[in-house]
Each structure stands twice: as structure tokens, then as C-alpha cells.
Amino acid sequence: MSFLRRPLLGALLLLLLLVSGCATVPFERTELTPVQQRSAAELAAGLWNAGSDRVLIRQSALFELRGMRVPIAGMMQLDLGAKKARLVGMNDMGVKLYDISVDALSSQAQFVIPELARYPGFAEAVALSVRRIFLAPEPAPGDLLELLPESYLMTRQGAAGAQLSFTFGGAEAQLLEKSSRGPAESWRVRYYQYQRRAGRLFPGGIVLDDDQAGYRLTLWIESVEKTDE
């Protein structure tokens, strides 16, 4: 992820929004409740992105890197069954920035604006963020489960010696946080303000922090609609 330290900084400067500010979380925390007896399989099956629906998500995002704050508007087609996503991003002036397809293992950039395409790794950084938030890794029925007073913690060993953790909580035991800590990566995703949309509980706010690359991505989920496309 070292490409984010210099090339991506230059790329983001091209988006012409450079302001100072602290990286605070703009969402309310989920109210925790005493846990009930649940299995790892039950928690994994109740994940917000479980199932086979195809949904269209409208979202706005804020990318923060060393005091720089870059707003991005976007639409994403998310195929929950196939674990695929296609994301189109625009800046605050309506200029199309990228069109990127992502699955659990790979990604393909259909379009990246030339000013950003000059910087190696930009499309991969976007794809990696989408993958971590929406696709993988996910909790599995075989994960180690620890019941805490007000939350459920599922853990397992990931690739390259990383420790994967998934925290569930709230009245409906929703995924509140997932993280990966290891020699090659250190990041976490937090999910907030679950609302029932398109027939399922869906987070209204999401925050991804990549400690090694030094950036934060905040997502406001504006709408979720089922689609046949």
C-alpha cells in the first residue's frame, strides 16, 4: 500500500479540494445490549450483506489523508450472491473519476480519468477499499466466538499471519466492526446507524481506516434499491 503515500497524494491534489480538519466519526454509535446465546454460524448468516440480492447503492464519500479532505459521490451495483461490485465515482463538480469492477479476489478498471490514471495504484486502492467494506473478508461459521457482556467477537487467522476480527452487537446483533492486523496490513471497518432498506438491515454510515497507508474513507449510504441488472 505504499503507493498511497506519494502517488495517491498527488492524484488527490488534482481533485482541487485541500482543507484542514480532524478525522472525527460523524455517526452515532450503535447502542449495545446484553448478549444472548448465539452461535458463530447464526451471526455469520445474519450479516447485512448475506443473501443473493442485487442492489443499487447511492452514496457519498469523504477521503482523508494527512489533513486533506476529498469528497466523492458515487453509485455502486452490488451483487451479494456473486460477491461482485461495480463502482462509479464523481467529484463534487459532477466529473466522472472512475468506473471500477471488484470481486473478492480481483478488480478491473473500465475507466479512470487520465489525471488519476497517471498515478500507479489508484484504481487498486479504490478496489481494495470496496472489497474490504462490502465483499471480503467476512465472518465464517467456523470462526472462534467469544461472548462478551455486550458484544460478540469472532476471530480467525487470515493470510500472511494477519488476525481477522469481527465484532457484532446491538439489538439485532449486527456487524459493528471488522479488522485485520498483521505484518502486511493493519486496517478496520466500522459500521453505523443500521436502517431497514430494500428488505434488509443496512448500515447508513461506514468508516474504513487503513493505519499503514494512513488514510480514512467515510461513506454515507444515501439509498439502497433492489435491482435485476
> The domain spanning residue 114 has which CATH number?
2.50.20.10
d(CA 97, CA 123): 10
| H helix runs in 166-206, sequence order | none
pLDDT tens for residues 90-138? 987 889 999 999 999 999 999 999 987 887 777 888 899 999 999 999 9
- Give the number of domains in the chain: 1
d(CA 99, CA 110): 5
Strands 200-210 and 215-226: antiparallel
Q: Which domain holds residue 176?
A: 2-226
pTM: 0.87
- Residue pair 56/198 in contact (Cβ under 8 Å)? The answer is no
pLDDT tens for residues 34-78? 999 999 999 999 999 999 999 999 999 998 877 777 788 999 999
Residue 186: count other Cβ atoms within 10 Å of its Cβ: 16
